[in-house]
A and B are shown apart, each in its own frame.
Chain A
Amino acid sequence: MRRPSAATLLSYTFIAVLLGTALFVNVTKPRVMILQSYDPGYPWTREIDVGIRRVSQDWSSYALSWYYMDTKRHNDPDWLRRAGILARRAIDKLDPQVLIAVDDTAQRLAASHYVDRPGLAIVFAGVNGSAAPYGYPGAANVTGIFEHKPLQAIKEIALAFEARRPRPKPHPRILYILDPSPSLRADRPYIEAFDWTPLEFAGSVVAKDFPDWQRLVRERGPRVDYLVVANYRKLPRGPQDPRLADPKRVMAWTEAESPVPVIGANVFNVEDGAMISVGASPYEQGEVAAHMAQRILREGIPASAIPFRINRQYVVALRRSALRRRGLRLPSVYEAFSRATATYLE
Chain B
Amino acid sequence: MAADGRGRPGCWVLATLAPFALYFGLRPLGLDDAQAQFIATAGLMVLLWMCALVPDFIPALLGLLILALFGVAPESVILSGFASPGFVLALSVMGLGAVVSTSGLTRRYARFLLRHLPPNTFAHQAALFFTGLLFIPVVPTITGRAVIVAPILNDLAARWDPATRARAQTALYASGLHGFNFLSPLFLTGAPANFMIYGLLPAQEQDAFQFVFWAFAASVVGLVLLAAWFLVAALWFRAFARVEQAPETEFEASPLSSREWLALAGILALALGIATSQWHKIDIEMVAFAVLLVLLLCGALSREDFVKRIDWAFLFLLGSMIGLLTTLGHLRLDQALMARLGWLGHYMRSDFPLFVAILAGAMLVVRQFIPLNSAILIFAAALIPVADQAGVSTWLVGFLILLLAETALFPYQSPYILYFRNITRRSVQPDERRLTLFQAILFGAKLLAVYASIPFWKHIGVL
Contact = CB atoms under 8 A, between A and B. Distances in A.
Interface string A65-77: 1011010011000
B281 A15 contact: no
A81 B461 contact: yes
Contacts of A12: 298
Contacts of B281: 26-27, 29, 31, 63, 94-95
B contact face: mostly helix, strand, loop, or mixed: helix
Contacts of B249: none
A95 B463 CA distance: 24
Given A19-B294, A67-B204, A73-B391, A95 B461 contact: no
Contacts of B298: 11-12, 15
B448 interface: no
A70 B391 CA distance: 8
Given A19-B290, A31-B281, A82-B461, A89 B391 contact: no
A contact face: mostly helix, strand, loop, or mixed: helix
A190 B378 CA distance: 51
Contacts of A70: 391
Interface in B400-443: none
Chain B, interface residues (CB within 8 Å), range: 20 to 34
B308 interface: no
Contact of B391 (A26, A27, A29, A74): A74
A95 B278 contact: yes
B460 A68 contact: no
Contacts of A15: 294, 297-298
Given A70-B391, A74-B391, A86 B208 contact: yes
B290 A93 contact: no
Nearest to A41: B335
B279 interface: yes
Nearest to A8: B298
Contacts of B207: 65, 90, 93
Contacts of A89: 208, 461
Contacts of A23: 280, 282
Chain A, interface residues (CB within 8 Å), range: 20 to 34
Contact of B208 (A22, A63, A90): A90
Interface string A223-254: 00000000000000000000100000000000
B346 interface: yes
Given A26-B281, A31-B281, A243 B208 contact: no
A336 interface: no
A9 interface: no
Contacts, number: 51
A79 interface: yes
Interface string B438-463: 00000000000000000000001111
B290 A26 contact: no
Interface string A10-29: 01100100010011001101
A82 B461 CA distance: 5
Contacts of B282: 22-23, 26
Interface string B93-104: 000000000000
Contact of B297 (A11, A63, A65, A82): A11
A85 interface: yes
Nearest to B459: A85
Contacts of B279: 27
Contacts of B290: 19, 22
Nearest to B210: A93
B280 A27 contact: yes
Interface in B169-204: 204
Contacts of B463: 82
B208 to A, nearest CB: 7
A346 B372 CA distance: 51
B3 to A, nearest CB: 46
Interface string B275-311: 0001111100000001000100110000000000000
A19 B278 CA distance: 17
A85 B278 contact: no
Nearest to A24: B280
Contacts of B294: 15, 19
Contacts of A19: 290, 294
A183 to B, nearest CB: 19
Contacts of B460: 85
Contacts of A243: 342, 346
Interface in A289-335: none
A18 to B, nearest CB: 9
A74 B338 CA distance: 14
A27 B461 CA distance: 28
Contacts of A81: 461
Nearest to A96: B281
A70 B204 CA distance: 11
Nearest to A88: B461
Interface string B80-112: 000000000000000000000000000000000
A63 to B, nearest CB: 7
Contacts of A85: 460-461
B372 to A, nearest CB: 31
Contacts of A79: 391
Interface string A154-195: 000000000000000000000000000000000000000000
B136 to A, nearest CB: 24
Nearest to B202: A68
Contacts of A65: 207
Q: For A23, A67, A79, A84, which residue has the most chain B Cβ atoms within 10 angstroms?
A: A23
Interface string A28-42: 010100000000000
Contacts of A29: 281
A81 to B, nearest CB: 7
Contacts of A90: 204, 207-208
Nearest to A94: B281
Contacts of A74: 391
A338 B140 CA distance: 56
Q: For B204, B278, B460, B463, which residue has the most chain A Cβ atoms within 10 angstroms?
A: B204
A287 to B, nearest CB: 24
Nearest to A87: B461
A151 B290 CA distance: 55
A225 B10 CA distance: 68
Nearest to B282: A26
A26 B280 CA distance: 6
A290 B278 CA distance: 25
B296 to A, nearest CB: 11
Given A74-B391, A84-B461, 10 more contacts: A12-B298, A22-B290, A27-B279, A31-B281, A85-B460, A86-B208, A86-B461, A90-B208, A95-B278, A243-B342
6 contacts: A15-B294, A67-B204, A73-B389, A82-B463, A93-B278, A95-B278
Interface of A: 11-12, 15, 19, 22-23, 26-27, 29, 31, 63, 65, 67-68, 70, 73-74, 79, 81-82, 84-86, 89-90, 93-95, 243
Interface of B: 204, 207-208, 278-282, 290, 294, 297-298, 342, 346, 389, 391, 460-463
Q: Which 8 A-B pairs have the closest CB atoms?
A: A85-B461, A74-B391, A82-B461, A86-B461, A26-B282, A79-B391, A15-B294, A27-B280
